[in-house]
């Protein structure tokens, strides 16, 4: 149900998941109006060098309601991914998270309402669930804000739900579990491990390796978004994008080291990378029953395959040069 005659808006298109989603939409023949956050360098992030006839790059800011209205004018489906997403940075700059994640989402909802777009897919996160009270985590699991980041995503989800109920706005909430792959910021565990090993470090710095995660390869997450953009009759639903598998950070590190041919890699826990204990989300494993029922989406990559693709990308010197493996990137 994504209308090919109207542009599809992607916010956060300059970022990790948004750039992959933008490419996946363009590959399927959609026209994409891709938002890169305005900056004076005219830097389009991961959209730099992307060239497709259907791609229109727009620079702006979701904190500006007037800009959001103009962004949505004439568009069909809107994928709203723009956000501040680093948990450690949300400890030091929570105001920015409220402005971007809550107010930014409100602005996009209001813009879709004002301009009459066909659907808005709002991006949530598995972080809203906090440490699993039961697994696999389905959409009914309680919300537990364990970081300012999570709190702002819970707020944004609530606004999206309220716009569906109050105004019948065609809203779908996509809730990806942890996503990894080429282009991810080194603040996340998988790129931080890969980029340090690829830079020749014999002892790498990590945070707590005991938590578990349900990792989605980014191509699968992008297909999940498109499936939720296309499926009929799912307005008002919040829907997990998850594999239903669970792995510890320590097991992930071991697998990466093995795939990179450095099984002897040692690690040291860097206290700066530890979350306060009550803020650490110890266990995440998602239930994907709903998305499987409502769409034909299935993950195509297991962790080993997705990691191999990710490593292949990171070890390319041109890509690795964009990272600073010796500096902790929160
Ligand atoms: N990466 C994950 O594991 C994961 C998991 C679940 C949900 N998510 C969600 O997916 C979305 C994308 O995350 P990502 O991992 O690609 O992160 P990312 O940081 O790479 O992308 C977010 C993008 O939002 C843009 N942005 C930030 N503030 C903006 C503003 N004020 N105006 C316009 N653009 C702005 C940034 O330029 C950035 O490129 C986010 O909503 C995030 O909460 C990510």
Using only C-alpha atoms, what is the Rg of the chain? 19
What tens digit of pLDDT does each residue of 164-206 get?
A: 999 999 999 999 999 999 999 988 999 999 999 999 988 999 9
Look at the chain and report how many structural domains it folds into: 2
Nearest atom, ligand 1, residue 183 CA: 20
Confidence of residue 124 (pLDDT cuts 50, 70, 90): very high
Q: Which atom of ligand 1 is nearest to the CA of 62?
A: 32
More confident site: 329 or 290: 290
Distance CA 224, CA 226 (A): 5
DSSP code of residue 301: -
Shared domain check, 252 and 121 = no
Considering the domain architecture, whether residues 119 and 47 belong to the same structural domain is answered as: yes
Mean pLDDT of all residues in the chain? 97
Structural domain boundaries enclosing 221 = 8-179+216-241
pLDDT of residue 187: 87
* Mean pLDDT score, 258-280: 95
Task: Give the pLDDT mean for 250-260.
Answer: 97
- Quick one: 63 and 35 in the same domain? yes
CATH number (domain holding residue 62): 3.40.50.720
Lookup: tokens for 141: 């699991």
Test site for ligand 1: of 9, 10, 13, 17, most ligand atoms within 8 A of the Cβ: 17
CA gap 324, 316 in Å, rounded: 14
Quick one: pLDDT band at residue 328, thresholds 50, 70, 90? confident
CA nearest to 25, candidates 76, 73, 62, 68? 76
| Per-residue pLDDT tens digits for 37-49 | 999 999 999 999 9
pLDDT confidence of residue 298: 98
Interval between CA 257 and ligand 1 midpoint (Å): 27
Question: In 3D, which of 58, 5, 7, 54 has the Cα closest to residue 27?
Answer: 54
- Cα distance between residue 82 and residue 96, in whole Å: 13
């Amino acid at each position: 149900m994504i209308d090919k005659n109207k542009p599809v808006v992607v916010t956060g298109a300059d970022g990790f998941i948004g750039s992959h989603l933008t490419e996946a939409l363009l590959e399927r023949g959609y026209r994409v109006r891709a938002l890169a956050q305005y900056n004076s360098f005219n830097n389009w992030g991961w959209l730099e060098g992307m060239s497709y006839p259907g791609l229109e790059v727009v620079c702006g800011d979701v904190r500006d309601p007037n800009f959001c209205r103009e962004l949505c004018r004439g568009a069909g489906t809107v994928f709203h991914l723009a956000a501040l997403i680093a948990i450690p940075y949300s400890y030091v700059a929570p105001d920015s998270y409220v402005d971007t994640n809550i107010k930014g989402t409100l602005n996009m909802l209001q813009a879709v309402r004002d301009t009459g777009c066909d659907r808005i897919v709002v991006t949530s996160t598995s972080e809203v669930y906090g440490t699993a009270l039961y697994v696999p985590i389905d959409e009914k699991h309680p919300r537990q804000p364990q970081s300012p980041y999570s709190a702002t995503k819970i707020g944004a989800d609530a606004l999206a739900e309220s716009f569906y109920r109050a105004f019948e706005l065609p809203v779908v909430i996509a809730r990806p579990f942890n996503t990894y792959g080429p282009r991810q910021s080194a603040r996340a565990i998988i790129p931080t491990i890969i980029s340090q090993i690829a830079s020749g470090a014999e002892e790498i710095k990590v945070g707590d390796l005991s938590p578990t995660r349900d990792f989605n390869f980014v191509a699968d997450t992008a297909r999940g978004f498109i499936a939720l953009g296309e499926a009929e009759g799912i307005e008002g639903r919040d829907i997990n994008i998850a594999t239903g598998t669970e792995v510890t950070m320590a097991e992930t590190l071991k697998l990466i080291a093995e795939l990179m041919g450095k099984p002897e890699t040692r690690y040291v826990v860097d206290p700066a990378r530890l979350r306060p204990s009550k803020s650490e989300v110890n266990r995440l494993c998602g239930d994907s029953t709903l998305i499987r029922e409502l769409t034909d989406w299935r993950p195509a990559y297991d962790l080993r395959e997705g990691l191999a693709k990710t490593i292949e990308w990171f070890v390319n010197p041109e890509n690795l040069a964009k990272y600073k493996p010796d500096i902790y990137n929160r």
